[in-house]
Amino acid sequence: MTTTAPLQVERISEVTASDASLRGFLHGLPGVDQVGAEARVATMSSRSIKTTAKQWAIDLAISMIDLTTLEGQDTPGKVRALCAKAMRPDPSDPSVPRVAAICVYSDLVAVAAHELRGSGVKVASVATAFPSGRASMAVKLQDTRDAVAAGADEIDMVIDRGAFLSGRYLEVYDEILAVKEACGHAHLKVILETGELGTYDNVRRASWLAMLAGGDFIKTSTGKVSPAATLPVTMIMLEAVRDFRDSTGRQIGVKPAGGIRSSKDAIKHLVVVNETAGDDWLDPDWFRLGASSLLNDLLMQRTKIATGRYSGPDYFTLD
């Protein structure tokens, strides 16, 4: 089958050979018409997901959550509580699936890794001078190595948006490449911080750049910049991973993060996954939701479906 993407795998090294070739490639990607993209998302958002479909989607969404705490006030105690919740989101209902991962700062990775050992819940750590990305390369790499050494299964790095926006694509590429190497066996999620990129065209270019450089996941946001994950951005990124796989045979995951708070939002994201990238991405290995408060809303909806009545926040743990 002919593919939508203009790149064959054997050409990747050519593309990344120089700043000029990389620039030529990224700017040669088909543009994104903002109005058309948003109209498409609006149509998908109007899907009516009810009954059995809703039940299935809620459980899938829970299993895709990267349960996140990224605050200055984070403590080992807080992280331990979060880990308990990750493994058993609803203590009164063992049928609730565990979440995909816990996401913390690198200094708390060891605590999380200890708590989660053998549970199947992964430990993800932000790194590379999160959230701004403004530090020397050496610091960023050390940050990464520390997190991996402490037991992180996944590294969420931020790209240098300044370099990206000023057109120094090769610099961004090299940085991702270096971090990927520092990750060793850990999976690398590349945070594009789409809220700072300004256009969907840039989101598409940054997505391709991250994938070319070897990122395992592309992630929308740090959660520290508004807007964070939006449905159109998620759709553009899903189109990118879809086209990238068509071109190269390599499947990349997508993680919208930040701003997804309600079950309704989460289900809309799953609809967009379903109708943009399809079945292969409807799996916690390939799609994640970076969130914290979302989990409780999903649990409340789940209870509503099971019991037939609306639940309240008092019935769910706050961590």
Partner 1 sequence: MAGKKFTYAPAPESRAILDLRSSYGLFIGGEFVDSIDGRTFKTISPATEEVLAEVTEAGEADVDRAVQAARRAYERIWSKLAPRERGKYLYRIARIVQERARELAVLESLDNGKPIRESRDVDIPLVAAYFFYYAGWADKLPYAGFGPDPRPLGVAGQVIPWNFPLLMLAWKIAPALACGNTVVLKPAETTPLTALLFAEICQQADLPPGVVNIVTGAGETGRALVEHSGVDKVAFTGSTEVGKMIARSTAGSKKKVTLELGGKAANIVFDDAPIDQAVEGIVNGIFFNQGHVCCAGSRLLVQENVADIVVSSLKRRLGTLRLGDPLDKNTDVGAINSAEQLARIRELSDVGEEEGAERWSPPCELPDRGFWFPPTVFTGVTQAHRIAREEIFGPVLSVLTFRTPAEAVEKANNTPYGLSAGVWTEKGSLILWMANQLRAGVVWANTFNRFDPTSPFGGYKESGFGREGGRHGLEAYLATGNRGRDV
Partner 2 sequence: MSDRLSVRKTYKLYVGGKFPRSESGRSYEVTDAKGGFLANAALASRKDARDAVQAARKALPEWSAATAYNRGQVLYRVAELLEGRRGQFVAEVAAGEGLTTRKAEAAVDAATDRWVWYAGWADKIMQVQGSANPVAGPYFDFSIPEPTGVVAVLAPQGSSLLGLVSVVAPVIVAGNTCVVLASERAPLPAVTLSEVLATSDLPGGVVNLLTGRVAEVAPWLASHMDVNAIDLVGAGSDQAIDLEVAAADNLKRVLRPTDEDWASEPGLHRMLAFLETKTVWHPIGV
CA distances from 162 to 165, 167, 192 (A): 5, 9, 11
- Residue 72 CA to residue 76 CA, distance in Å, equals 12
Which residue in the set 13, 166, 199, 293 belongs to the binding site for partner 2 (CB under 8 A)?
199
Write down the catalytic residue from 122, 140, 219, 268. Answer: 219
Residue 198 binds partner 2, judged by CB under 8 A:
yes
Write down the catalytic residue from 160, 255, 297, 319. Answer: 255
Residue 280 bears catalytic tag: no
Q: Which stretch binds partner 2 (CB under 8 A): 122-130, 192-200, 203-211, 279-287?
A: 192-200
Distance of CA 284 to the CA centre of its chain: 11
Judge whether 86 and 121 are in contact, CB under 8 Å.
yes
Q: In the complex, what is the shortest distance from the CB of residue 31 to partner 1, in angstroms, rounded to a whole number?
A: 4
User: For residues 60 and 231, which CB has a smaller minimum distance to partner 1 in the complex?
Assistant: 60
Query: Applying CB under 8 A, which residues contact partner 1?
Result: 1-4, 30-33, 35-37, 39-40, 43, 46-54, 56-57, 60, 239, 270-271, 274-275, 278-279, 282
Residue 8 binds partner 2, judged by CB under 8 A:
no
User: For residues 193 and 297, which CB has a smaller minimum distance to partner 2 in the complex?
Assistant: 193
Subset of 25-64 contacting partner 2 (CB under 8 A): 33-36, 38
- Return the one option of partner 2, partner 1, none that residue 274 interacts with (CB less than 5 to 8 A, by type): partner 1
- Return the one option of partner 1, partner 2, none that residue 57 interacts with (CB less than 5 to 8 A, by type): partner 1
Q: In the complex, what is the shortest distance from the CB of residue 187 to partner 2, in angstroms, rounded to a whole number?
A: 33
User: For residues 9 and 39, which CB has a smaller minimum distance to partner 2 in the complex?
Assistant: 39
Residue 50 bears catalytic tag: no
Closest-CA residue to 100 (of 179, 213, 189): 189
- Return the one option of partner 1, partner 2, none that residue 78 interacts with (CB less than 5 to 8 A, by type): none
User: For residues 110 and 272, which CB has a smaller minimum distance to partner 1 in the complex?
Assistant: 272
Task: Count, in order, helices (H) and strands (E) of the chain.
Answer: 13, 8
Judge whether 63 and 100 are in contact, CB under 8 Å.
yes
Half-sphere exposure of 67 (CA within 13 A, CB side): 29
User: For residues 1 and 35, which CB has a smaller minimum distance to partner 2 in the complex?
Assistant: 35
Q: CA-based Rg of the chain, rounded to a whole angstrom?
A: 19
Residue 156 bears catalytic tag: yes
User: For residues 40 and 261, which CB has a smaller minimum distance to partner 2 in the complex?
Assistant: 40
Judge whether 272 and 261 are in contact, CB under 8 Å.
no
Beta strands at 217-219 and 65-68: parallel, antiparallel or unpaired:
unpaired
Backbone φ/ψ region at 125: left (φ over 0), alpha (ψ -120 to 50), beta: beta
DSSP string, 46-97: T----HHHHHHHHHHHHHTEEEE---TT--HHHHHHHHHHHH-SSTT-TTSP
- Return the one option of partner 1, partner 2, none that residue 198 interacts with (CB less than 5 to 8 A, by type): partner 2
List residues near partner 2 by CB under 8 A. Answer: 33-36, 38, 198-200
Q: Which residues are catalytic?
A: 156, 219, 255
